[in-house]
């Protein structure tokens, strides 16, 4: 709860369902938070858009969400959106914004072989933001950047209840597994919030065991710290916060997707639509 007695409010934004991986961790860190999750499935995939177009789209979505929900913190639960839009969005909204960027520093600390791969969308691996993280926090490890063209879409389909091709997943992740002499990649940074939705299938596709580094727990800790800094007493409430998800396409979820959303304690409005674009 906050010092005013109101539960904290979190506005999540993602291009689809990937942000559920961050939301799940946030639910553990701040169970009492009320959540509005906007799934911009009408804009999926974000990687096909220029930085300017994506930043403008995010501004419109967040502006509508802020106006109707009045959040205490905005969570940009998408690596591509964060690397493209965080600076502009922070300039335009006075509310704290927590972004999602590849977990380069933890990966460099975790690796034993010195070979780390960042598995992300092509847009994320192409950005100077990502390369700057490696230059600043890579700590001497050798990083391989792998842009997976369709892995996010495969994760989105899997989460919606569709069967996905294991061989297609294996092709997407294969470049992340590097051998140099006697050394092998031992840490793969999951640089897209969709990818943990496929974790079992990623394990099955791996030619050898690796640590898949999911940034969601670290993001959840950051969210809790931000809320505490805003005067909220977090993580101690007996009340479970409310949650609602809105799709910008107005879709109604399949039975499999509805079960997934219910497991995250998210309700779907009758229209399904976010009505922000």
Q: What is the pLDDT of residues 232-272, one digit of tens each?
A: 877 766 678 999 999 999 888 888 889 999 999 999 987 66
Q: Produce one character per residue of 76-113: b if its CB has 16 or more CB atoms within 10 Å, e if not.
A: bbbbbbbbbbbebbeeeeebbbbbbbbbbebbbeebeb
Catalytic residue among 11, 25, 78, 198: 78
* Per-residue pLDDT at 213: 96
In a domain, 277, yes or no: no
Phi, psi angles (nearest 5°) of residue 172:
-65, -40
Q: Are 126 and 79 within 8 A, CB to CB?
A: no
* Per-residue pLDDT at 7: 87
Which residue, 3, 59, 7, is CA-closest to 33? Answer: 7
Mean pLDDT by 10 residues, the chain (277 residues): 72 94 93 95 88 92 93 95 89 94 93 97 89 91 95 92 92 97 96 94 96 94 93 75 92 87 90 57
* Per-residue pLDDT at 196: 94
Note the residue count of the chain: 277
Q: Are 227 and 234 within 8 A, CB to CB?
A: yes
* Per-residue pLDDT at 222: 95
Which residues on adjacent β-strands are paired with residue 10?
Answer: 35, 73
* Per-residue pLDDT at 3: 47
Task: Based on the fold, state whether residues 85 and 58 are members of the same structural domain.
Answer: yes
Q: How far apart are CA 29 and CA 215, in angstroms?
A: 14
Q: What is the CATH classification number for the domain harbouring 145?
A: 3.40.50.1860
In a domain, 237, yes or no: yes
In a domain, 273, yes or no: no
Task: Please return the burial class of 266, using the count of CB atoms within 10 Å of its CB with bins 0-12, 13-18 and 19+.
Answer: buried
In a domain, 270, yes or no: no
* Per-residue pLDDT at 237: 63
Q: Does the annotation count 73 as an active-site position?
A: no
Beta strands 73-76; 183-184: pairing state: unpaired
Q: Does the annotation count 192 as an active-site position?
A: yes
Distances (CA, A) of 269 to 122, 180, 235: 33, 52, 27
Range of the domain at 245: 9-100+217-263
Catalytic residue among 23, 74, 146, 192: 192
DSSP label of 41 = G
Number of domains in the chain: 2
């Amino acid at each position: 709860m906050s010092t005013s007695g109101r539960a904290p409010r979190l506005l999540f934004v993602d291009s689809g369902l990937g942000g559920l991986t961050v939301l799940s961790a946030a639910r553990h860190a701040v169970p009492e938070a009320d959540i509005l999750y906007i799934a911009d499935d009408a804009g999926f995939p974000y990687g096909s858009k220029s930085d300017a177009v994506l930043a403008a789209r995010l501004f419109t979505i967040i502006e509508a969400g802020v106006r109707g929900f009045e959040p205490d913190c905005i969570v940009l639960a998408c690596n591509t959106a964060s690397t493209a839009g965080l600076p502009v969005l922070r300039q335009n909204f006075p509310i704290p914004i927590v972004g999602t960027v590849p977990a380069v520093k933890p990966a460099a600390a975790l690796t034993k072989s010195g070979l780390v791969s960042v598995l992300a969308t092509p847009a994320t691996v192409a950005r100077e933001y990502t390369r700057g993280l490696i230059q600043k926090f890579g700590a001497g490890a050798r990083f391989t950047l792998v842009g997976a063209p369709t892995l996010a879409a495969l994760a989105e389909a899997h989460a919606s209840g569709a069967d996905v091709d294991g061989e297609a997943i294996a092709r997407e992740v294969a470049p992340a597994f590097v051998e140099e002499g006697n050394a092998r990649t031992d840490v793969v940074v999951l640089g897209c919030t969709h990818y943990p939705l496929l974790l079992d299938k990623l394990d099955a596709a791996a030619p050898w065991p690796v640590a898949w580094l999911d940034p969601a727990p670290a993001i959840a800790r950051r969210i809790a710290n931000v809320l505490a800094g805003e005067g909220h007493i977090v993580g101690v409430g007996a009340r479970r916060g409310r949650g609602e998800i809105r799709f910008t396409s107005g879709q109604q979820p399949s039975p499999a997707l509805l079960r997934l959303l219910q497991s995250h304690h998210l309700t779907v409005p009758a229209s399904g639509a976010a009505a922000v674009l």
